[in-house]
Structure 1
Amino acid sequence: MSIPPGQPAGPDQASPQPACARHPDRPTGLRCTRCDRPACPDCLREASVGYHCVDCLAQSGRAGREAVTVAGARLGGKPIVVPVLIALNVLAYAATAIQAGSFLDNARSALFAQFSLFPVGVAGGQWIRLLSSGFLHIGMIHLLMNMVALWVIGRDLELVLGRLRFIAVYLLALLGGSASVFLFGALDTPVAGASGAVYGLMGGIAVAALRLKVSLRPVLVVIALNIVLSVSIPGISLLGHLGGLVFGAAATAALVYAPRERRNLVQGSALAGLLVLLLVALVVRDVQLGPITCIGGSCYYLG
């Protein structure tokens, strides 16, 4: 996400841009990602994520204050959560493949049947499927596509958000995708994959790029391409992808646009609100479906 600062806007624009905080005669569309003040290219220095103005860098050096991103994450960290998530997905795939006796047809395993997103099973009380299904994949190509996307997109977003915030966004996107399938999908069709969470990261990186005022074109191209693939390839859950995209973008927006003075309070309240919204929607849907009980791999309607 390192994009060189652009040139200041010309004076003939209809809507004048704010002036650089240090050079009032220079209009600019750029801002320091730390203090959010307008700054011209001469006053910005590239940081691990975004750009910092020379005043913030000088103040940080004098006070010894730790530099943070727009979401409040410490600068200079390394992605740790993303490799761990990839490892968990690969281990889950290996377990189902070994149990099924096939790395090409791992969906035949009992573990896959027990933990994939089977909406009628969720209605029967097996809510763990909403989370566990996000770590299961159908075949090696499915796994490879999602893990490559997670590696490419997730590393940058983890640096912007920080590890704990990134985990929150990832899980909310995963649950958002699962909830979308449970609310609007076919009850008797099992679904699995990290795609909902990955789409949430796509939405999140788009929001972060907008907040940092870097080019959105590469991100939007990737999102558009994946949506086209979701519609055109049979067997892919578009509902799960869109649900993850919406909740990932919403969670990231709550993190990167929170005011610095009350950052932790606003971020925590917003994330909790999204989680409550998901839970309420799930409970309402569960009540609508009526009494269902599941024993082993079979579910029965008790009405």
Structure 2
Amino acid sequence: MPPDGPIGAQPEAPVCVRHSDRPTRLRCTRCDRPACPECLHDASVGMHCVDCVNEGRRTVRRARTLVGAEVSEGRVIITPILIALNVLAYVVTVFQSGSPMNNARSSLFTATSLIPDLTAQGEWWRILTSGFMHFGLIHLALNMAVLYVVGQHVEREMGKLRFSVVYFLALLGGSAAAFYFGTVCQQLAGASGAVFGLMGALLILWKRQRRDISTIVVVVGINLVSNLFTNASLLGHLGGFVIGGLLTLAMVRAPQKNRNLYQVAAVVAAVVLLGVMFALRAAQLDTNAEVILEIATTCRPN
């Protein structure tokens, strides 16, 4: 018998480097180590093992969007979370009020909606929490439908962090515009300011990509004009739209070198602007506190 075994005998197959119980005659074309079919991935040349694929992802520079976010084809995360939070807040107000259409009577709604005189007296959480309250089911459904459609496009282009920043600053921009330019005899609520901010962001992104923006312009125009014939806050919508659009423009126009620094500076500038608006209006209301209180008492929700 030949020293290497019987004539015609096959040599023992090597085993997968990641699974010692799986014999295989396949090899990675990059590192030449044996690997089972489960551990191999198609490549431009041959097949690469899991370790080589992971190493390639770490070393290869990934494509980035206009604002510097990594290109991702995965599911969006922040948009559905925001929708869930708005729906949850609405459900709580419906449970408290016992009515899906008159939920503004609930204690949560009263405590979190934007009421200028109470906000100026120190209840500053209202400028943020009001963005999660809605006057009835139709108000909620309209805002969430637009958020679902527009939010996905903007989040994929801007990434989770930048998208979140634009959303919440647009929300605060809507509150600031209504608070600063509006009257004290009002109760404001809704995600409309933030949603308009996302439409402003999408307008800038598509314009930069040289895509057709006519649909966005028409939708925004119709919504703003309709505000003149409804109780919706035109100031809140405009404030969110302007902040969302300008902030996105600053992020898009930021030079590639030191991009993050420029974008952080734009965010800080927006925060300072909104903070000054809130402070100036609060000081004005405080100066005329007695008159303001008398006016607000006659129109404050029961």
**Shorter-chain TM-score tier:** 0.7 to 0.9
Query: What pairs up with 1:188-203 in 2 under 5 angstroms?
Result: 188-203=185-200
Give 1:198's aligned amino acid.
Answer: V
1:24-44, Cα deviation, whole Å (9 max, x unpaired): xxxxxxxxxxxxxxxxxxxxx
Post-superposition offset of 1:84: 0.2
1:239 correspondence with 2:235: yes
1:260 correspondence with 2:256: yes
Give 1:235's aligned amino acid.
Answer: N
CA distance in 2, matches of 1:103, 1:236: 19
Which one of the candidate residues 277, 283, 302 is aligned to 1:281?
A: 277
CA distance in 2, matches of 1:218, 1:68: 26
Q: Give the structure 2 partner of residue 161 of structure 1.
A: 158
Post-superposition offset of 1:128: 0.5
User: Which secondary structure state, in structure 1, belongs to the residue aligned with residue 179 of structure 2?
Assistant: helix
1:32-91, Cα deviation, whole Å (9 max, x unpaired): xxxxxxxxxxxxxxxxxxxxxxxxxxxx99x61111101111112431100000000000
Q: Give the structure 2 partner of residue 290 of structure 1.
A: 286
Give 1:265's aligned amino acid.
Answer: L
CA distance in 1, matches of 2:92, 2:183: 27
1:131 correspondence with 2:128: yes
Give 1:276's aligned amino acid.
Answer: V
Does the CA-based 8 Å contact 1:161-1:255 persist in structure 2? no
Post-superposition offset of 1:197: 0.5
Q: Give the structure 2 partner of residue 99 of structure 1.
A: 96
User: Which secondary structure state, in structure 2, belongs to the residue aligned with residue 66 of structure 1?
Assistant: coil
Paired-residue identity, %: 47
1:207-264, Cα deviation, whole Å (9 max, x unpaired): 11111111111111111121122222x2111010000010010111111111111110
Q: Give the structure 2 partner of residue 69 of structure 1.
A: 65
Structure with the largest fraction of helix: 2
User: Which secondary structure state, in structure 2, belongs to the residue aligned with residue 260 of structure 1?
Assistant: coil
Query: What pairs up with 1:115-130 in 2 under 5 angstroms?
Result: 115-130=112-127
CA-atom RMSD in angstroms: 2.2
1:141 correspondence with 2:138: yes
Post-superposition offset of 1:188: 2.2
TM-score by length of 1: 0.75
User: Which secondary structure state, in structure 2, belongs to the residue aligned with residue 255 of structure 1?
Assistant: helix
Q: Could you say which structure has the larger radius of gyration?
A: 2
CA distance in 2, matches of 1:264, 1:78: 24
TM-score by length of 2: 0.75
User: Which secondary structure state, in structure 2, belongs to the residue aligned with residue 261 of structure 1?
Assistant: coil
User: Which secondary structure state, in structure 1, belongs to the residue aligned with residue 259 of structure 2?
Assistant: helix
Which segment drifts farther, 161-170 or 254-263?
Answer: 254-263
Q: Give the structure 1 partner of residue 106 of structure 2.
A: 109
Give 2:264's aligned amino acid.
Answer: G
Query: What pairs up with 1:1-80 in 2 under 5 angstroms?
Result: 64-76=60-72, 77-80=74-77
1:222 correspondence with 2:214: no
Structure 2 residues not aligned, in runs of 5+: 1-55, 291-295, 298-302
Q: Give the structure 2 partner of residue 248 of structure 1.
A: 244
Which one of the candidate residues 238, 248, 266 is aligned to 1:270?
A: 266
Runs of 4+ in 1 over 3 A off after TM superposition: none
Q: Give the structure 2 partner of residue 3 of structure 1.
A: none
CA distance in 2, matches of 1:198, 1:257: 22
Give 1:93's aligned amino acid.
Answer: Y
Does the CA-based 8 Å contact 1:89-1:136 persist in structure 2? yes
CA distance in 1, matches of 2:280, 2:232: 26
Give 2:268's aligned amino acid.
Answer: A
User: Which secondary structure state, in structure 2, belongs to the residue aligned with residue 290 of structure 1?
Assistant: helix
Does the CA-based 8 Å contact 1:133-1:192 persist in structure 2? yes
Give 1:280's aligned amino acid.
Answer: V
User: Which secondary structure state, in structure 2, belongs to the residue aligned with residue 87 of structure 1?
Assistant: helix
CA distance in 2, matches of 1:231, 1:154: 26
User: Which secondary structure state, in structure 2, belongs to the residue aligned with residue 120 of structure 1?
Assistant: helix
Post-superposition offset of 1:181: 0.8
CA distance in 2, matches of 1:189, 1:288: 17
Q: Give the structure 2 partner of residue 187 of structure 1.
A: 184
